[in-house]
């Protein structure tokens, strides 16, 4: 039996000059899960995702993916959707797809073109001329077209219309395989609740709850959305 | 992976430089055409004075624009060098670049090599444009002859091996280009380690680097002066031809720049691989 552990955080702390974003976080995540990373604004969701993707350096602690510390090996298998657009605006959609194909061995070009077609995005359009929502869709397509082990989606459905939202969630679900894990950070719990296996509640940089959605429903008799509102009542 | 990075870096920057190069060569050609038709002789062909003065103004404008495009191209070379490092690596686009399975050193080299490449291209295109304007049938033979003569005269008059000096000079300029770029990269990287006012800290870092280099240079000169003042060295110096001294100074300058470049590279690489904090 291969090792089911995909991601491990040991004592991960991240200090910013003005505040502590993550406070000695310990976390183990297995393969084959769809996980909601939930918490109020400023709870450390984005910081955690950025640390795993390697664009932030932890102040202390260790993060490993497949047992490797964050680096080239982990970047090969981690597919990260940031909360902002990072696309070079001078490229066409076709160019950025070629770019991804060039750099990621696990990028599936056909899948990308297929999804573009489904969402009515012309591969010959320039990224510069696109609306913010369309750019977000393109980014999501790029990220989901990789056969990665770990998908990190930071607010993937915030900026798109409800119809596209459903399509995106279906895409995430249909991409599911037992070796890959998806971590989705969001405020829009109600919309994504149906796809989640587990939830992680973050508050002030600490993990306040880690549970499976079934457990919450069975033991507490509540939806995740209701529980969230209760835990984080202002 | 470096090859792929170089490919995309060249693509991303070529769309700025190629039109500029086209502009330089085009205006060089205009200038050449104006020079071919010398307007002071024109009234022979019956062109009125009024048109002559208009053409004169146009001619002056073309010369002016030609110079301006060259100035703009070199300003662009500098601006793009900063912008590609600051925006593409440490701005929003860094989210893409630093999640690629590529190490930080490849990112630095791709930016550095492409930046030096465009600087060299800008110089070559400028020289080409001068050749276009100066062109006449026997130009290249004449130029080769001139060089041969000039090198010969330099050697017989001063004993300086002009070919060796020329090679050293080109090498020094190239190395200085690398080091100069890396000094900016290191400054921006040092600024990046700060939470706020990153641009301000980058400026401060640049000034500090500059001052350290100045201090080291001064110390080296003073120490060298003191050492060379001793009898042993004075005697040796008397026996050494002044041209050898020039070579020594050139080679020393090259080495000095190589060392400075390596230090700046190491600083940049350390920050990008160990202290990266994209906001």
Q: Contact A37/A28 with Cβ under 8 angstroms?
A: no
Confidence of residue B45 (pLDDT cuts 50, 70, 90): low
Tally of domains in chain A: 1
- From chain B residues 40-69, the ones with a CB under 8 A of any chain A CB are none
Helix (H, G, I), strand (E, B) or coil at A145: coil
- Asked whether the predicted pLDDT for residue B44 surpasses 70, the reply is no
- CB of B3 within 8 Å of a chain A CB? The answer is no
- CB of A59 within 8 Å of a chain B CB? The answer is no
Interface test with A, best of B90, B96, B271, B275 (most A CBs within 10 A): B96
Conformation bin of residue B16: beta by default, left when phi > 0, alpha when psi is -120 to 50: alpha
B4 to A50: CB separation less than 8 angstroms, yes or no: no
Please compute, for residue B111, the number of CA atoms within 13 A of its CA located in the half-sphere on the CB side: 27
- CB of A50 within 8 Å of a chain B CB? The answer is yes
Sequential pLDDT tens for chain A (234 residues): 457 899 999 999 999 877 889 999 999 999 999 999 998 888 999 999 999 999 999 999 999 999 999 999 999 999 999 988 888 778 999 999 999 999 999 999 999 999 999 889 999 999 988 988 888 889 989 999 999 999 999 988 777 778 878 888 888 888 777 889 999 998 788 888 888 999 999 999 999 989 898 888 888 888 888 888 888 877
Look up tokens 């085009």; give the residue. B26
- Residues 6 or more apart whose CB falls under 8 angstroms from that of B192 comprise B90, B198, B202, B271, B275, B276, B277
Q: CA of B12, closest CA in chain A: separation in Å?
A: 8
Interatomic CA distance for residues A66 and A77, integer angstroms: 9
Confidence of residue B195 (pLDDT cuts 50, 70, 90): confident
Select from B92, B99, B275 the Cβ nearest to the Cβ of A80.
B99
Q: Contact A152/A162 with Cβ under 8 angstroms?
A: no
Rounded mean pLDDT, B153-172: 83
Confidence of residue B46 (pLDDT cuts 50, 70, 90): low
Q: Among A205-214, B44-53, B195-204, B217-226, which stretch is predicted with the lowest mean pLDDT?
A: B44-53
- Asked whether the predicted pLDDT for residue B138 surpasses 60, the reply is yes
A57 to B277: CB separation less than 8 angstroms, yes or no: yes
A99 to B8: CB separation less than 8 angstroms, yes or no: yes
For the stretch A108-145, pLDDT in tens is 999 999 999 988 999 999 998 898 888 888 998 999 99
Interatomic CA distance for residues B177 and B257, integer angstroms: 10
Rounded mean pLDDT, B70-95: 95
Q: CA of A92, closest CA in chain B: separation in Å?
A: 12
Predicted ipTM of the assembly: 0.92
- From chain A residues 9-48, the ones with a CB under 8 A of any chain B CB are 16-18
% of residues, chain B, pLDDT over 70: 93
Contact list, A75 vs chain B (CB under 8 Å): 99-102
pLDDT at A103: 96
Interatomic CA distance for residues B230 and B251, integer angstroms: 23
Rounded mean pLDDT, B37-49: 61
- Domain containing A213 equals 5-231
pLDDT at A1: 45
- CB of A80 within 8 Å of a chain B CB? The answer is yes
Question: For all residues of chain B together, what is the average pLDDT?
Answer: 89
pLDDT at B59: 85
- Asked whether the predicted pLDDT for residue B40 surpasses 80, the reply is no
Nearest CA in chain A to B16: A90
Most confident of A54-63, B30-39, B132-141: A54-63
Instruction: Supply the CATH number for residue A62's domain.
Output: 3.40.50.300
- Asked whether the predicted pLDDT for residue B215 surpasses 70, the reply is yes
Conformation bin of residue B26: beta by default, left when phi > 0, alpha when psi is -120 to 50: alpha
B55, two tokens: 């053409």
């Amino acid at each position: 039996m291969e090792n089911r552990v995909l991601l491990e955080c040991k004592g991960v702390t991240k200090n910013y000059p003005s505040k502590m974003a993550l406070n000695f976080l310990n976390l183990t995540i297995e393969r084959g899960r769809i996980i909601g990373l939930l918490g109020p604004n400023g709870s450390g969701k984005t910081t955690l995702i950025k640390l795993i993707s390697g664009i932030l350096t932890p102040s202390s602690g260790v993060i490993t993916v497949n047992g490797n510390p964050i680096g080239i090996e982990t970047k090969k298998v981690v597919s990260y959707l940031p909360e902002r657009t990072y696309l070079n605006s001078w490229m066409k959609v076709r160019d950025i797809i070629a770019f991804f194909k060039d750099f990621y061995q696990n990028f599936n070009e056909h899948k990308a073109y297929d999804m573009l077609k489904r969402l009515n995005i012309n591969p010959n359009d320039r990224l510069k001329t696109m609306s913010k929502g369309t750019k977000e869709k393109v980014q999501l397509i790029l990220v989901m077209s990789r056969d990665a082990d770990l998908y990190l989606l930071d607010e993937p459905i915030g900026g798109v219309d409800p119809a596209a939202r459903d399509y995106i969630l279906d895409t995430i679900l249909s991409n599911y395989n037992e070796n890959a894990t998806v971590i989705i950070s969001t405020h829009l719990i109600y919309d994504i609740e149906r796809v989640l296996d587990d939830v992680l509640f973050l508050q002030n940089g600490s993990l306040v709850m880690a549970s499976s959605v079934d457990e919450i429903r069975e033991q507490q008799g509540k939806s995740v959305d209701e529980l969230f509102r209760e835990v984080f009542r202002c | 992976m470096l090859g792929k990075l170089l490919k995309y870096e060249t693509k991303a920057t070529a769309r700025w430089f190629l039109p500029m190069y086209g502009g330089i060569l085009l205006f060089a050609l205009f200038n050449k055409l104006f020079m071919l038709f010398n307007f002071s002789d024109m009234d022979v062909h019956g062109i009125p004075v009024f048109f002559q003065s208009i053409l004169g103004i146009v001619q002056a404008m073309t010369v002016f624009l030609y110079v301006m495009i060259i100035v703009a191209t070199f300003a662009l070379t500098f601006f793009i060098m900063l912008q590609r490092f600051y925006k593409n690596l440490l701005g929003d686009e860094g989210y893409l670049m630093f999640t690629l399975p590529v190490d930080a050193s490849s990112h630095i080299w791709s930016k550095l090599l492409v930046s030096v490449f465009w600087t060299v291209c800008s110089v070559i295109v400028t020289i080409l444009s001068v050749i276009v304007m100066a062109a006449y049938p026997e130009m290249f033979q004449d130029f080769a002859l001139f060089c041969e003569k000039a090198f010969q005269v330099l050697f017989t008059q001063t004993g300086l091996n002009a070919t060796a000096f020329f090679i050293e000079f080109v090498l020094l300029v190239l190395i200085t280009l690398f080091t100069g770029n890396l000094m900016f990269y290191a400054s921006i990287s040092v600024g990046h380690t700060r939470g706020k006012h990153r641009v301000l800290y980058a400026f401060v870092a640049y000034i500090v680097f500059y001052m350290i280099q100045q201090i080291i240079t001064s110390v080296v000169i003073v120490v060298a002066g003191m050492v060379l003042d001793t009898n042993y060295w004075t005697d040796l110096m008397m026996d050494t031809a002044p041209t050898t001294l020039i070579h020594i100074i050139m080679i020393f300058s090259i080495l000095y720049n190589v060392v400075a470049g390596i230090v700046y590279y190491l600083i940049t690489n350390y920050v990008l691989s160990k202290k990266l904090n994209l906001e």
